[in-house]
Amino acid sequence: MTMDLCEGEPSSKGEPISVHEAWHLVARQLLNERNPSGHWIGELSTSALSTATAISAICSYRNQCEGKPSGESFEWMESVVEQGVQWLADQQNEDGGWGDTDLSYSNISTTMLVLASWRLSNTLDRWPNAVERARGYIDNQGGVEGLRRRYGEDKTFAVPILANAAIAGEVDWKTVPVLPFEAACVPQSWYRFMQMPVVSYAIPALVAIGQAKYRNDPPRNPLSNLIRKLSVSRTLRVLQRMQPSSGGFLEAIPLTSFVVMGLSCSGHADHPVVENGLRFIRDSVRSEGSWPIDTNLATWNTSLSISALSQTLAPDHTSTSKTRGAHDRRELLNEMYQPELLDWLLGCQNLDRHPFTGAKPGGWGWSDLSGAVPDADDTPGALLALRYWADYANPDGATLERIRKAVRAGGNWLLSLQNRDGGWPTFCRGWGKLPFDRSGSDLTAHAMRALNAWKAEFSESVIEAAFRRGWRYLERQQRPDGSWLPLWFGNQDLGDEENPLYGTVKVLLAFRDFSLEESAPAQRGRAWLTKQQHADGSWGGGRSITERSPDLVGSIEETALALEILADGEDNSGGKSLNDMGLRWLCDRVQEKRYTQPSPIGFYFAKLWYHERLYPQIFTAAALSRACRVQDDRLREGTKPAHRAEPHNGRENRFSK
């Protein structure tokens, strides 16, 4: 790596910014994003899909009530529906469809949901041209059959969308598949044996939409009819137990909206679950009349931010570090290492059996809000953040013991979650093979990194057995080209909407932490990753939705992800370092203040897109932190090591398979 990473005088005006200067700009901006309590909340993108489902939920409830709701409740409904339908009209894409976010391409799901919301709100006749174009888009995508093709065997989202359309009168109830809502009557521990047609976290939709189908298109079989009739009250009690105090299932607008509209048209508009769901919808609307996909990712954003900034500190992390840059970075990060932030992160840990999934205590969810559920991505994120805190924040003995206690509970929760195939699923062990229930390479690598960081806290035999199974899983999941696929992130510009770049980086980070960079799978993955770099030095991205351009435009998030792993080595092509090209591209974006533009790389539920305002800042901070740290190592040692393991408490973690 030849770029001036950390030392030297600040660049003159107009000269390229150094990585050290770029890190300070990004770190300062990211630290400024904290709320008054010292943690990060972020902001999820507004969503046409969420907005359409929220409007449909409100109108379904309102239309089922005898007469009009009176008083304040009716006023807020009228106001937000009016704002929401107008906001949707302004978001239509040129092809006649709607995408999930303002940066997303059109898809049949969101377009069908928008039309349903307009019909339920009696506003279809306001935009006849927009409606005609939307129906043309849906026809071109294959209509109902096109929707089914989009989701395949997974009914998690296809059935609620069709039910929403049926409630609005857009399709006949006969087109809506039956959901066996009576299955929710069995104990949660049995769900894994039930072969559910929806993923684990969609049980509320299974119940509400299943009851809507039963009410509006009852089965002809007398036995089936009787079983479902007897299951109605009991499954409603299940819903009530699962609903968090916020009223929002998983803090997600679409899932909560499907529950509200399903129960409303099933004769249960007066049920407490509906009342609480409507409260959540009301409390979640934004000033312009739109809704996000979820309330926030505060815990996830905070864990990622702590780790992204902290990894700039090398094992010699004291204020007497030999490099001026490391000393300066340490001084800035002291602002972050405050007791309030640690208290908040520890306070996000789930301490009781969770009513939604039945998960045991110990895990972390994506938010500190009541609707979040502990999972195998946010829990490792919190554990890694706590590792950095223990190593670099100089906690006293009592504080360190608090951290270790939380870590033991979180680590044991993760160990109990590992699937038979050796991988880690999102929420619950053994739930099934549908998307987002099965094991994922990104989740597995993340869990292994977190357990490795704290392996001294656990039984050596237990944790090494978990590692062996995890490595075997990851080796099986590597694709012939050397890449790995993630579970929860995608790229809308790839034909299958998957994101092998994200998945490959996340797995390679595990190889790095275990000092296995020279292994054959890691080398194949690294070779694949370097080949994905664009000519301008960036990675990922695709067509620019904002500029309507067919040209490839690299994304901040994916470029930063690639650099976070490639910063540790020398990848030269034609005498020019790929790292230098990528870092130059990223630093230019920082200097031009264009590094905060997010891309829709996130999935939330099946094929449902979002982007997060803080992702580009967090990922950029991680990449620049790693680059500065590698340069510190080289300046201190006077050498250029190709790869370095991730140290903890000054010790390298080594695990030999």
* Residue 310 sits in the same domain as residue 404: yes
Output the pLDDT for position 118.
98
Do 260 and 139 sit in the same domain of this protein?
yes
Q: Are 357 and 239 in the same domain?
A: no
Q: Where are the alpha helices (DSSP H) in 243-314?
A: 253-264, 272-284, 298-310
Q: How many domains does the chain fold into?
A: 2
At 248, is the secondary structure helix, strand, or coil?
A: coil
Mean pLDDT of 401-420: 97
Residues 216 and 276 in one domain: yes
Same domain, yes or no: 153 and 36: no
- Residue 153 maps to which CATH number? 1.50.10.20
Average pLDDT over the chain reads: 87
Average pLDDT in the 369-381 region? 96
Cα–Cα dist 323/633, whole Å: 9
| pLDDT band with cut points at 50, 70 and 90 for residue 606 | low
Confidence of residue 541 (pLDDT cuts 50, 70, 90): confident
Share above pLDDT 70 across residues of the chain, in percent, rounded to a whole number: 85
Cα separation, 551 vs 543, whole angstroms:
5
The pLDDT of residue 638: 64
Specify whether 40 is located in the same domain as 81. Answer: no
What is the phi-psi region of residue 330: left when phi exceeds 0, alpha when psi lies from -120 to 50, beta otherwise? Answer: alpha
For residue 33, what are the CA distances in angstroms to 26, 620, 624?
A: 11, 14, 18
Residue 4 resides in a domain = no
Same domain, 577 and 603: yes
Query: What's the whole-model pTM score?
Result: 0.91
66: confidence class by pLDDT, cuts 50, 70, 90: low
Virtual CA dihedral for 499, 560, 570, 323, nearest 10 degrees? -150
Domain membership of residue 505 (yes or no) is: yes
Q: 544 pairs with which residues across the strands? A: 549
Strands 291-292 and 46-47, by their bridges, are antiparallel
Residue 216 falls within a domain, yes or no? Answer: yes
User: Is position 279 within any domain?
Assistant: yes
Quote the CA–CA distance of 400 and 73 in Å, as a whole number. 49
Averaged over 233-251, what is the pLDDT? 94
Domain assignment present for residue 608? The answer is yes
Q: Is residue 1 part of a domain?
A: no
Question: Are 569 and 581 in contact, with CB atoms under 8 Å apart?
Answer: no
Angstrom distances, CA of residue 55 to CA of 48, 181, 283, 460: 11, 24, 14, 53
Give the pLDDT mean for 602-622.
89
Residue 270: how many CB atoms within 10 A of its CB?
Answer: 12
For residues 501 and 437, the model is more confident at 501
Written as six digits, the tokens of 489 are 């992130």
Tell me the C-alpha distance between 41 and 55, whole Å: 26
List the beta bridge partners of residue 46: 292
Helix (H) or strand (E) holding 652: strand 651-652
Query: How far is the C-alpha of 33 from the C-alpha of 137, rounded, in Å?
Result: 40
Write the DSSP symbol of residue 564: H
Q: Is residue 446 part of a domain?
A: yes
Helix (H, G, I), strand (E, B) or coil at 101: strand
Query: Which of the four pLDDT bands, split at 50, 70 and 90, describes residue 9?
Result: very low
Residues in the chain: 657
What average pLDDT does the segment 166-188 reach?
A: 85
Model confidence band, residue 2 (pLDDT cutoffs 50, 70, 90): very low
- Position 585 pLDDT exceeds 80: yes
User: Are residues 286 and 358 part of one domain?
Assistant: no
Predicted local confidence at residue 184, as pLDDT? 75
CB atoms closer than 10 angstroms to residue 459? 12
Distance CA 628, CA 461 (A): 36
58 contacts: CB under 8 Å, gap ≥ 6: 77, 80, 81, 260, 278, 281
Which of 251, 277, 292 corresponds to the end of one domain?
292
Per DSSP, the residues of 8-42 read SPPPPTTSPPPHHHHHHHHHHHHHHT--TTSS---
d(CA 519, CA 83): 56
pLDDT digits (tens, 9 = 90+) for 296-330: 999 999 999 999 999 998 765 444 455 677 888 98
Query: C-alpha dihedral over 518, 523, 529, 530, to 10 degrees?
Result: 80
Share above pLDDT 90 across residues of the chain, in percent, rounded to a whole number: 70
**Final residue in a domain of this structure, among 262, 277, 292:** 292
Q: Where are the alpha helices (H) located in 97-195, listed in sequence order? A: 108-120, 128-140, 143-151, 158-168
Query: Are residues 166 and 142 part of one domain?
Result: yes
Residue 545 has pLDDT above 60, yes or no: no
| Domain-ending residue, one of 261, 292, 323 | 292
Report the pLDDT averaged over residues 451-455. 98
Domain that holds residue 186: 46-292
Largest CA distance in the chain: 82
Are 274 and 399 within one domain? no
pLDDT of residue 565: 94
Same domain, 284 and 333: no
Domain assignment of residue 655, yes or no: no
Same domain, 28 and 135: no
The pair of structure tokens assigned to 638 is 């006077």
